[in-house]
Amino acid sequence: MAIERTLIIVKPDGVQRALVGQVIARFESRGLRIAGLKLMRISRELAEDHYAEHKGKPFYEGTVRYMTSAPVVVMVLEGPDAIAAARATMGATNPLNAQPGTLRADFGLNISRNIVHGSDKPETAEREINLYFKPDELLSYERAGDAWLTE
């Protein structure tokens, strides 16, 4: 199991609906460790950069407006296979297709208000972490029990 880092965002609907604690708790109790965490308002420029791969698609403009509409909580999570583990905890992009027990199924119904973002592969994770965090905002540390999780 490779130790990875992934970028997670509690999207504006998650913050507005007071779900921040529950979203973090699902990742944290699964074993992922918080390496960085902050509340921020995403600028239009940053949202356009983040979602550049979707430019020209019908949902692009709406997604940029939604992501910039209110504060978000962004975090870097670290752990064994953190990218796939976080995506599995999030569930499918469309909450209607997400498995019950995942964040997107349990907290939503609408694909354009799907609570949470998570990086989809190692290159994307590195790019997204650098978009949202400076190196000195990320901490490496051990928690009691972390070594046991990867044995």
Taking contact as CB under 6 A, which single stretch among the options 24-32, 107-115, 125-133, 138-146 is the one that binds ligand CDP?
A: 107-115
Phi, psi angle pair for 11, to nearest 5°: -70, 170
Count of residues that bind Mg ion according to CB under 5 A: 1
| 108 contacts 144 by C-beta, under 8 angstroms | no
59 binds ligand CDP (CB under 6 A): yes
Residues 31 and 102: their CA atoms lie apart, in Å, by 15
The whole-angstrom distance between residue 115's C-alpha and the CA centroid of its chain comes to 9
Residues 7 and 77: their CA atoms lie apart, in Å, by 7
Residues 3 and 125: their CA atoms lie apart, in Å, by 13
88 binds ligand CDP (CB under 6 A): no
97 binds ligand CDP (CB under 6 A): no
Residues 69 and 63: their CA atoms lie apart, in Å, by 10
- Which residue number, 123 or 151, has a Cβ lying nearer to ligand CDP? 123
The reply to whether 50 belongs to the active site is: no
63 binds ligand CDP (CB under 6 A): yes
43 binds ligand CDP (CB under 6 A): no
Of 48, 77, 117, 128, which one is the catalytic site residue? 117
- Partner that binds at residue 150, options ligand CDP, Mg ion, none, CB closer than 5 to 8 Å by kind: none
State which of residues 4, 9, 114, 132 lies at the interface with ligand CDP (CB under 6 A): 114
* Contact map string, positions 109 to 128, toward Mg ion, x by CB under 5 A: -----------x--------
Strands 3-10 and 116-118: antiparallel
Strands 33-40 and 116-118: unpaired
Contacts with ligand CDP, residue ranges (CB under 6 A): 59, 63, 93, 111-112, 114, 117, 120
Q: What residues are annotated to the active site?
A: 117
